[in-house]
Structure 1
Amino acid sequence: MGCCPSAPNSGDEDASGTNINYPHPSAEGTTPFRQYSLAEIMAATDGFSWDNIIAKGGGTIPNYVFRGRLPETQQIAVKRFSKNAWPDVEQFRKEAIRAGRLRHRRLVNLIGYCCDKDERLLVAEFMPNDSLDYRLFNAKNKTMEWSMRLRVACYIAEALEYCSNIEGQALYHDLSPYKILFDEADNPCLSCFGLVKNHRNGRYYCSPYMPPECRSGMITPKSMIFGLGYMIRDLVSGRQIPQDHEMLEMVVGKQIPIRPDSRLKGEYSAEDATALLELASQCMRHKPNDRPTIKDVIATLAQVQSNAAGPSNAGDSEGT
């Protein structure tokens, strides 16, 4: 059975009668969005084989991400939620369709979903060049260059600005180095899976990467700013801040000093590193209204990038 037919006309209905507004063919990223059958996903992932697991999400309700391949040889990533995460099938369907409308060059395309029987599945394009956490924190890897770290910060901020500005303000949940993936051209992209969060009984279940307000079930555009600040700290320091709740409270409340990554050996100026750490500190302020806007963040990142010794986007096949 073909899995990626030509995009239907806008306004087509899925199997449940839900109206789907597919991305326009002229939009960035033209892979059509559709509903998959469980049989298609089972075939693509070899029956959710453990050998195909590429990530596991923690938190109150765990989830798994599987590598898969469609008959047309397109590689995919499939996020598998439990029924407990989304007991309301219609709510899951609506959230998936809403996220599937988004298309931006800094955002991984969500190309489909499945809510057959007890399954709640999201289907995305596969990113072949690992994630930021693997590149940045794995001591066996080559040290990530300063220019690439700046590129990551700028590109992810750009993706979040897109999410903030579109109609209805799509909120991105649980931004972390695990959600930043690299495409075939080695450009950093934001995983689309963060647009559809584990949901049950009207509450969002958060990991330690989330800001304090999310623990009471509240999330706003300023919550995304907190996660961006956390990521900028990681990029500058090159090490992972412990993720338990007590440490996070200490990091936010006491502003523990973070030193730049010693492996960079002078690739950056002290002024640029200081500016980024100050920006991260502002983004991680306890009260949401005290955090900067996404436009303020982008302006600061652009200034640091322009101060860098060389163009940080060299080699970007898309340009900026």
Structure 2
Amino acid sequence: MGCGCSKLSACCWGSEYGGAVPEVQSVENEEKGEVDNVPVFTEYSVETLKMATSGFAVENIVSEHGEKAPNVVYNGKLENQRRIAVKRFNRSAWPDARQFLEEARAVGLLRNHRLVNLLGCCCEGDERLLVAEYMPNDTLAKHLFHWETQPMKWAMRLRVALYLAQALEYCTNKGRALYHDLNAYRIVFDDDGNPRLSCFGLMKNSRDGRSYSTNLAFTPPEYLRTGRVTAESVMYSFGTLLLDLLSGKHIPPSHALDLIRDRNIQTLTDSCLEGQFSIDDGTELVRLASRCLQYEPRERPNPKSLVTALVPLQKDTEVPSHVLMGIAHGGAALPVSPLSEACLRMDLTAIHEILEKLGYKDDEGAATELSFQMWTNQMQETLNSKKKGDVAFRHKDFRAAIECYTLFIDGGTMVSPTVYARRSLSYLMSDMPQEAHNDALQAQVISPVWHMAAYLQAAALFALGSENEAQAALREGSIHENKRNANATQ
């Protein structure tokens, strides 16, 4: 899997104690590539992030990084339907809470459209978490080394190199030139298919943690000598990424430099790129990589000179990134199912019919805790409450269904996402949309990728008048449903 770093990767940032990062004036933003449409920095509670990630569910893990100090990244969703990436550090990684907060907030002063921006952090008890924008289109490593439908085009590879150089230039100008363990897993693609640099690398994995977790063959030589990462070390790692883009493989720099010295550029170049670029362009990229990989740190270029060198090489600049990447655009329409259509129309009767037909089929694999109480009166009463609730739900006696399902849920001996879904719809039918939304969220906590839970959230949000959030939940439900149907046909 290339560098032994992770499956996927995501993002990070911070400000002054308890406050929000001040917005930079829009004129300045446009001049410096900064963005002003990202929410202000927030200190989240652990409870909020647990809810957003369905209790840090395994199904929501997108990255696991490091063996000695494992750090896990989850995807999640806040109550306002904003998708997020949550990095959860090992408990021993940052024992000093103040140091963690100061470091996170320092990184959090950055705002740029070439970076994945941090939305906040959490420092509660032993928990140390970073909350960032969610990038839905995988990592550079996935598209470069493990592609399934098409190899990355030459024009897109050049765009990745330029955007990455621009991100590093911005960070350097803001006094954050150090980036830890720059590699193909640190570059992720947004809704538009544009590459962005994860902010996680701007912050160490721990107070005293190592800055590199990849194979030593890819580590800057001065880091091996001193154990310290410098701005010049980042340029060395940039050189290894240029080699990745040129070859489509993760080639150790020493081997690549041997090929370059022997003028064996053909062996170094990805065969999938045949006919897509000129000899001069290929030679220029090799020259840039060679400069970045100089043994003496002072002989390597800085980000500004990299940007200057990469701009003239750009191709197909008018073609959107998602087209070059061959991926669906963030706003692309998804197939409309009867269920998503019913939610959009707020046809609660149709939703009721679908839920009734579905029964409890989707409860398979849900967390169910049964004990010796199974044979006691308490367990029997709990099951009877569910049965009575089902009868009431079938006959559209929604007040009675709410009462019976509440007795079942409060019994606490079994967990059923379907019961939460049925009570959610019963609340909607009883003109109680906030309670309906809470139950739909609980159903998703139990089954994070269950399409029905997302659809019911959409219906509740429509009822609450939260149009944008409802549309986001509706789209999420469609994505889960389409993935489910695709898996069923394989």
1:221 partner amino acid = A
User: In the alignment, which residue of structure 2 is the partner of 1:98?
Assistant: 106
Structure 1 Cα separation of the partners of residues 311 and 100 of structure 2: 37
Structure 2 Cα separation of the partners of residues 239 and 197 of structure 1: 26
Counterpart among 266, 272, 275 of residue 284 in structure 2: 275
Deviations 1:50-102 (A, max 9, x none): 11010111254221110100000000001111122222221111111111110
User: In the alignment, which residue of structure 2 is the partner of 1:3?
Assistant: none
- Structure 1, unmatched stretches of 5+, are 1-10, 242-246
Residue 300 (structure 2) pairs with residue 294 (structure 1): no
Give the 5 Å matches for 1:218-233.
218-233=228-243
Deviations 1:155-197 (A, max 9, x none): 010000000111x334221111111111111111111111111
Tell me if structure 2 keeps the 8 A contact 1:175–1:194: yes
Residue 240 (structure 2) pairs with residue 240 (structure 1): no
- SS of corresponding position for 2:285: helix
Residue 320 (structure 2) pairs with residue 311 (structure 1): no
User: In the alignment, which residue of structure 2 is the partner of 1:192?
Assistant: 199
Residue 172 (structure 2) pairs with residue 176 (structure 1): no
Would the alpha carbon gap of residues 302 and 205 (structure 1) be closer, same or farther in structure 2, given more than 3 Å must change?
closer
CA drift at 1:292: 1.2
Structure 1 Cα separation of the partners of residues 121 and 195 of structure 2: 24
Bigger radius of gyration, 1 or 2?
Answer: 2
- SS of corresponding position for 1:121: strand
Counterpart among 59, 65, 70 of residue 57 in structure 1: 65
CA drift at 1:253: 7.3
Structure 2 Cα separation of the partners of residues 41 and 140 of structure 1: 33
Structure 2 Cα separation of the partners of residues 311 and 128 of structure 1: 24
Tell me if structure 1 keeps the 8 A contact 2:115–2:199: yes
2:212 partner amino acid = C
Q: Which has the higher helix share?
A: 2
Q: How many residues align?
A: 292
User: In the alignment, which residue of structure 2 is the partner of 1:159?
Assistant: 167
Structure 1 Cα separation of the partners of residues 150 and 163 of structure 2: 21
Structure 1 Cα separation of the partners of residues 20 and 78 of structure 2: 22
User: In the alignment, which residue of structure 2 is the partner of 1:206?
Assistant: 212
Would the alpha carbon gap of residues 55 and 303 (structure 1) be closer, same or farther in structure 2, given more than 3 Å must change?
same
2:229 partner amino acid = I
User: In the alignment, which residue of structure 1 is the partner of 2:440?
Assistant: none
Deviations 1:24-66 (A, max 9, x none): 3634143211111111111111111111010111254221110
2:200 partner amino acid = F
Would the alpha carbon gap of residues 78 and 25 (structure 1) be closer, same or farther in structure 2, given more than 3 Å must change?
farther
Tell me if structure 2 keeps the 8 A contact 1:151–1:313: no
- SS of corresponding position for 1:199: coil
Structure 1 Cα separation of the partners of residues 221 and 92 of structure 2: 24
Deviations 1:101-129 (A, max 9, x none): 10011011111011111111111000111
- SS of corresponding position for 1:24: coil
Tell me if structure 1 keeps the 8 A contact 2:187–2:196: yes
Would the alpha carbon gap of residues 12 and 261 (structure 1) be closer, same or farther in structure 2, given more than 3 Å must change?
closer
Would the alpha carbon gap of residues 313 and 238 (structure 1) be closer, same or farther in structure 2, given more than 3 Å must change?
farther
Structure 2 Cα separation of the partners of residues 303 and 117 of structure 1: 51
Would the alpha carbon gap of residues 20 and 288 (structure 1) be closer, same or farther in structure 2, given more than 3 Å must change?
farther
Structure 2 Cα separation of the partners of residues 66 and 94 of structure 1: 23
- SS of corresponding position for 1:95: helix
Counterpart among 41, 54, 70 of residue 33 in structure 1: 41
Counterpart among 266, 273, 276 of residue 264 in structure 1: 273
TM-score (norm 2): 0.56
CA drift at 1:22: 3.3
Structure 2 Cα separation of the partners of residues 233 and 65 of structure 1: 27
Structure 2 Cα separation of the partners of residues 198 and 252 of structure 1: 29
Structure 2 Cα separation of the partners of residues 20 and 118 of structure 1: 23
User: In the alignment, which residue of structure 2 is the partner of 1:244?
Assistant: none
TM-score (norm 1): 0.84
Tell me if structure 1 keeps the 8 A contact 2:163–2:196: yes
Q: Which has the higher strand share?
A: 1
1:226 partner amino acid = Y
* Greater shift in the superposed pair: 45-54 or 19-28: 19-28
User: In the alignment, which residue of structure 1 is the partner of 2:418?
Assistant: none
* Greater shift in the superposed pair: 214-223 or 75-84: 214-223
Report the RMSD for the aligned CA atoms in angstroms: 2.3
Structure 2 Cα separation of the partners of residues 97 and 157 of structure 1: 23
User: In the alignment, which residue of structure 2 is the partner of 1:6?
Assistant: none
User: In the alignment, which residue of structure 1 is the partner of 2:369?
Assistant: none
Structure 1 Cα separation of the partners of residues 246 and 318 of structure 2: 17
Identity of matched residues, %: 43
Tell me if structure 1 keeps the 8 A contact 2:139–2:185: yes
Structure 1 Cα separation of the partners of residues 301 and 189 of structure 2: 27
Tell me if structure 2 keeps the 8 A contact 1:52–1:66: yes
Structure 2 Cα separation of the partners of residues 296 and 12 of structure 1: 33
Structure 1 Cα separation of the partners of residues 93 and 42 of structure 2: 22
Would the alpha carbon gap of residues 146 and 254 (structure 1) be closer, same or farther in structure 2, given more than 3 Å must change?
closer
Would the alpha carbon gap of residues 57 and 178 (structure 1) be closer, same or farther in structure 2, given more than 3 Å must change?
same
User: In the alignment, which residue of structure 1 is the partner of 2:380?
Assistant: none
User: In the alignment, which residue of structure 1 is the partner of 2:74?
Assistant: 66
